[in-house]
Amino acid sequence: MGCHVHLRRENSATVISLITFGLPALLLAAAAFWMRPRPDGVPRPSNAVSTAVLLVAWAIAIIGFNPVVQDAADLVTRDLAKLISNALMLCASLAVVGFLFALNHDPAPARAKLRPRLRLLALTVAVMSVAFFSTPADRRWSSPFTNTHWGQAPVTLAVYTIAYVAFMGHATYDALVQTWRRSTETDWRVHKIGLKAVASGCSFVLVYLLYKVVNSAASLAHVELFPGGPRCTSPVTPYRCAFSFTAPLTGVLLITAGLTVPAMLWPLAKRRLTAWQRQTAQIMAPLWQDLTSVDPDVVLATLGDDAEPDLVLHRRTVEIADGILSLEEYRSRAVQRAAEEAVADAGITGIEADAVVEATVVAGAIQAARWGARAQYDPAPLADQGSAREADLGKEAVWLRLVAEQYTSNEIVHRIAAAHQPPALDAA
């Protein structure tokens, strides 16, 4: 029976060793990816350095939990592994705050905000070190005396815990504030998910800090709430390990993933966005050509062939919107009614129906302008979609893409526009 228990403990320790060596290897590989050499003239992303620092800091912090590393440290002096892992966790937590400062502020203000926190980190580690080495080795956390007389633990251990929890709590608060601020400013869904993961990670860190506070308070009250040996045999045994090991490690994973995965996905998202912008500009081209042929004044300065897709789409969207507005006096209600009836007969509904009707009215207005027809006494109003797109160029581009698609390919648009020639428009 004892042999089976020993084997289970060895297997659990192996799992912990794999976690605390495997994860750092992945994080260091990701840091190397961010700092890899770039082709000549291609700058690194603005947040590459802060991302690499964050990844390296967490990798080193996780290694500090590895049983082999902890055993080696404890050979120097009892519980030295705890001081090292705690100090590394503080450094990693500040790396998160620094990353968020770099994300939310310009470089100079970000550095200005980080400097006092670096000084506070140095002071905290110094206080912890003094408290640790002032505590006799036979009175530290894993000593037989402290494990059997928990209520008589030296006050220096409480000082150590207070310093650690105070800094970690402050860093966690910083991370929550910065995360919340960023989550309210981004429209990218993956980014929002990442920020929620960071917030969840902060909650696990708070659970860990609460454990530290409760455990210290219990020791002052001569109560041992979380008994167990000096080492965790699994992520949840003894049960204090769920708070002292699993909670901070889970927080590390969620915070690191939340901050880095969206950043790694950004190049893919950027490529997709660029492809969509280029495709949208091409779809808009026929409508843009017809509108600018009857009102060349809406065309802004000519763009070069090497213009970025977002700039091309921006200009095309503005010019089409201005062109539609410039033909407002030619918008026929007769064409609009005919298009609405045809759309209803075809069973088309929703925004697609609105786009078909608007494309038909615009096609009729372009025809009328070309023929020199009289202005409409009571022009058809612009599509209702306009109020929802106000001051939002992205929504305007999506809407005009739909209109342009219907203008180019929809049979209803072509049929009704052909049936309502300018003389009929004059009579409307």
Closest C-alpha among 70, 223, 77, 217 to residue 138? 77
Confidence (pLDDT) at 264: 67
CB 89 within 8 A of CB 168: yes
Q: Which residue has the higher pLDDT, 99 or 87?
A: 87
Measured in whole angstroms, how far is the alpha carbon of residue 114 from the centre of its chain? Answer: 21
Confidence (pLDDT) at 130: 95
> What is the torsion angle, in degrees rounded to the nearest 10, for the CA atoms of residue 118, residue 122, residue 128 and residue 131?
-150
Give CA–CA dist 28/52, Å, rounded: 8
Extents of the domains making up the chain: 2-36+46-271, 295-427
Closest C-alpha among 24, 23, 12 to residue 229? 12
What Å distances lie between residue 210 and 10, 180, 215, CA to CA?
30, 22, 8
pTM summary value = 0.57
Confidence (pLDDT) at 223: 67
Give CA–CA dist 389/378, Å, rounded: 24
Q: Which residue reads 């228990």 in tokens?
A: 5
Per residue in 267-305, pLDDT (tens digit) is 777 788 889 888 988 999 898 888 888 888 877 766 656
Give CA–CA dist 224/83, Å, rounded: 21
Per residue in 135-169, pLDDT (tens digit) is 998 888 778 777 676 667 788 888 898 898 899 88
What integer is the mean pLDDT of 111-127?
A: 93
Confidence (pLDDT) at 5: 40
CB 379 within 8 A of CB 330: yes
Per residue in 2-44, pLDDT (tens digit) is 444 444 445 555 777 777 788 788 888 878 877 887 766 666 6
CB 393 within 8 A of CB 342: no
Please provide the size of the chain in residues.
428
- Tokens linked to 130: 């003094």
The architecture (CATH level 2) of 2-36+46-271 comes to: Up-down Bundle (1.20)
